[in-house]
Amino acid sequence: MKTLNIYKSILILALIFLVSSCTNFDEITDDPNRATSVPPSMLLSEVLRVMNNVGEEGPWSEAQRDNQFWAISFDYYGDQDYNWGSAPFRYTTLSNVEAMEKEAANLDTKNKYGALAKFFKAYFLDYMSKRVGDIPMSEALKANTAEKITQPKYDSQKAVYVEILSLLEAANTQITLAQTEVGTGNVEGDFLHEGDLSKWQKTINAFRLRVLIGLSKKTTELDVVSQFNQVVSNPSKYPLMVGMDDNLACNFSDENGNNYELNPSNYGFNRNRNIMGGTYLDILKLNNDPRIYIVADPAKFYYNAADPLNLNAYIAANTGDDQGAMQVASDEGKLSYPSEKRYYSTYKGEDYILIGYAEQQFVIAEAINRGWVTGDAAAYYNQGITASMQFYSVSNADVATFLASLNMVYKGNNTAGLEQILSQKYVAFFQNSERESYFNYRRTGIPAFNVGPANNNGGKIPMRWKYPQAEFETNKTNVNTALTSQYGGSDDINAKMWLLK
């Protein structure tokens, strides 16, 4: 069962390993009470726990407010502020990934854990770099090696992405070997894909397409287009997701500690301060999208029982709105809340998708629209919409009607068609995939994010986060050198990184 309720023993053993890893194992005397290694399965579970990141960036989190999916009307509990601070680094998790790879290498050089380790390295390097820019990479995690590097240099973002793409190619190669030669059985410790290596391989390649489309401004500097073609044109070597069952997703349960964020126990606490966000809801309204009746409730003030499907009763709050006015409107019943039936009737809620089939289809549609690959962009666009509709159990008849509507019929491989693809990709990301909707907006400007008096960042949506304060305390020279080379010496959240230029 996919679950976030990781046993405490896994965490304890992982921590024991981290402490032990600060010492040269050759110098540890034989002590039956000292743990000198941790099984790869336990390290994998800890890595997956961090990858889920549900508390920080999962459903109805602050990150999903930054994605402009929902707004908060009470300033006591949160704000709509875009004056961002520092981003988290994931080097502790990467040390667990390296430990897993090292332990797994004792099993076989083609082992399945080693293949997954390469993917996780790529995943967390991407996670960090796209938030801040240049990061330590080539000299990172070498404090306890013979080199004893305690202040690692920063690698350029370009070098980081060259390495990410190399790791993903190697991960695909190794996981193929793992399936055919040394391990077709389940991967122990995997609570996301339940040990299914074929699904992991599809995830690796879907993620590679996400990375490549994220490099759309760098096609002249990196072999982005050729790599994209390489993946989509050879499904036998690079299998991709074929449906929603292939999603990398976690689910929730009635078990304490593994409940969906909105549930019956916090209904009275959250109900009238969680407001549907205008950037998202207004797209649904504009297109007469049946998903609106599933994810949101109509504002009570405007609701008419004789006309229950009246879209005019669905009123969102803009992310930039003043919270005082928003609270008054909420108290008067003039704003739409998340659907009581969908989000407050059970503790299980809905799955949280990290990397999904709908996203993959929209990515391929965008690549076709841009002329990177040949194919039918409309077909992939429709498949992405259909997959998202299936997530909400929209009937086949309603899906067909929606796809045939004037607003939704694909407008061709042009600017209008690209806007359709990106807008529907944003809709499909609702409450899922961490901050991918923000990263797509940052790259393309679609959909337009709302800015207003609550912004607190000079009327701008930031382009990045600051570096962690710990870097200025322990690696000052190198972080300042990175800031000088990228942003004129200022840790400016509005500055553009290499990825966006």
Spans of the chain below 50 pLDDT: 1-35
The class that CATH gives domain 86-242+462-500 is mainly alpha
Tokens standing for residue 292: 């609106």
Query: Phi, psi at residue 249, to the nearest 5°?
Result: -145, 150
Q: Are 17 and 267 in contact (CB under 8 A)?
A: no
How far, in Å, CA of 110 to CA of 477, rounded? 39
Identical fold at 56-84+247-452 and 86-242+462-500?
Answer: yes
Task: Give the per-residue pLDDT at 186.
Answer: 73
The answer to whether 371 and 414 have CB atoms below 8 angstroms apart is: no
Tokens of 159: 């070098």
- What's the pLDDT score for residue 184? 53
Whole-number pLDDT of residue 392:
98
Model pLDDT, residue 37 = 72
Architecture of domain 56-84+247-452: Alpha Horseshoe (1.25)
Strands 352-355 and 70-72: unpaired
Q: What's 203-243 look like in SS3? A: HHHHHHHHHHHHCHHHCCCCCHHHHHHHHHCCCCCCCCCCC
Q: What is the pTM of this model?
A: 0.93
Backbone angles phi, psi at 499, to 5 degrees: -55, -25
Bridge-based pairing of strands 135-136 and 248-250 is unpaired
What's the confidence (pLDDT) of residue 292? 98
Q: Are 243 and 397 contacting, i.e. CB atoms less than 8 angstroms apart?
A: no
**Does residue 114 contact residue 174 with C-beta atoms inside 8 Å?**
yes
**Strand partners for 136:** 154
Domain extent listing, the chain: 56-84+247-452, 86-242+462-500
**Predicted local confidence at residue 183, as pLDDT:** 54
Say how many CA atoms lie within 13 Å of 270 toward its Cβ.
Answer: 20
232/348 Cα distance (integer angstroms): 35
Query: 201 and 179 in contact (C-beta within 8 Å)?
Result: yes
Distance of CA 114 to the CA centre of its chain: 23
Q: In whole angstroms, give the CA distance from residue 449 to residue 279.
A: 6
